[in-house]
Amino acid sequence: MARVTQQHVDARRDAILRSAARLFARKGISGATMQEIANEADLSAGAIYRYYSSKEELLRAVFEDATTRNEQLFQDIAEKATSPLDALAQIGRWVWVEQDDRDDLVCQIQMALKAAQDPEDLGVDLTQTREAMRGMLEALIRQAQNAGEIDRGIDARHLAVILQTTTMGVQMMKLDHPTGLDVESIFELFVQMVGGLGPQTGENERRG
């Protein structure tokens, strides 16, 4: 009997996670069945249960996978950026403009609703994830302040909250207006606004 490789197992898990995310987006978490997810992944129901024992376990795996991918993307962009402010702009561009997977966005909203209904379980994880992402934004903002790109007098934590909540709002609007929203122009204006948070003239003169 041929030995199943780790690569094969990982590919199967990835196919299941992607299929589950699509079904959760289209039918809702309560509406999607394990059989339908298996069909979407081109697997038998028995096969999917060898990887995930329940829909609740699969939902958590989808959540953890999305969290890991987003955090890795954040780190990759930050490492390649030319400055902290450039990193913020590039991360924003990806989320605001380049991320166009409607199913992925809807799935995130479905998981947020599930977390709100289950605050003691998935809700705790979602809160921690958002706080972690907010902390990463705050760290970049502080780096931008140290580099003289953002005024040191601005509360980095508060600005991180503004960036995060504005992004969440734009994602919702992209779902409401998939073709009628000029996200590119809106994003460029937002970048200009953030860029205008640079040190005041007096501070620049003191630095000079």
As a whole number, mean pLDDT of residues 12-22 equals 93
pLDDT at 34: 94
Secondary structure of the chain: what % helix, strand, coil (to 5)? 75, 0, 25
Measured in whole angstroms, the distance separating CA 178 from the mean position of its chain's CA atoms is 19
CA separation (Å) from 35 to 20, 39, 137? 11, 6, 39
Banded pLDDT at 99 (limits 50, 70, 90): confident
Q: Which residue pairs from 31-34 have beta carbons closer than 8 angstroms and sit at least 24 positions apart in sequence? A: 34/58
Q: Which residue has the tokens 């199943």?
A: 4
Residue 86 has pLDDT above 90, yes or no: yes
Classify residue 139 by burial, with Cβ atoms within 10 Å: 0-12, 13-18, 19+: middle
Give residue-wise pLDDT tens across range 186-201: 899 999 999 899 986 5
- Comparing C-alpha atoms, which of 71, 193, 84 is closest to residue 131? 71
- Comparing C-alpha atoms, which of 53, 52, 74, 54 is closest to residue 129? 74
pLDDT at 41: 93
Distance, in Å, from the CA atom of 41 to the CA atom of 21, rounded to the nearest integer, reads: 11
Residue 88 has pLDDT above 90, yes or no: yes
Question: What's the half-sphere exposure (Cβ side, CA atoms, 13 Å) at 56?
Answer: 4
Q: Where are the domains of the chain?
A: 60-198
Of residues 181 and 3, more confidently modeled: 181
pLDDT at 51: 92
Distance, in Å, from the CA atom of 50 to the CA atom of 40, rounded to the nearest integer, reads: 16
- Comparing C-alpha atoms, which of 70, 16, 10 is closest to residue 48? 16
Residue 202 has pLDDT above 70, yes or no: no
Give residue-wise pLDDT tens across range 57-70: 999 999 999 999 98
Distance, in Å, from the CA atom of 85 to the CA atom of 80, rounded to the nearest integer, reads: 12
What would you report as the CA-atom Rg of the chain, rounded to the nearest whole angstrom? 20
pLDDT at 101: 80
What class, spelled out in words, does domain 60-198 have in CATH?
mainly alpha
pLDDT at 3: 66
pLDDT at 2: 52
The first and second tokens of residue 156, run together, are 């980095």
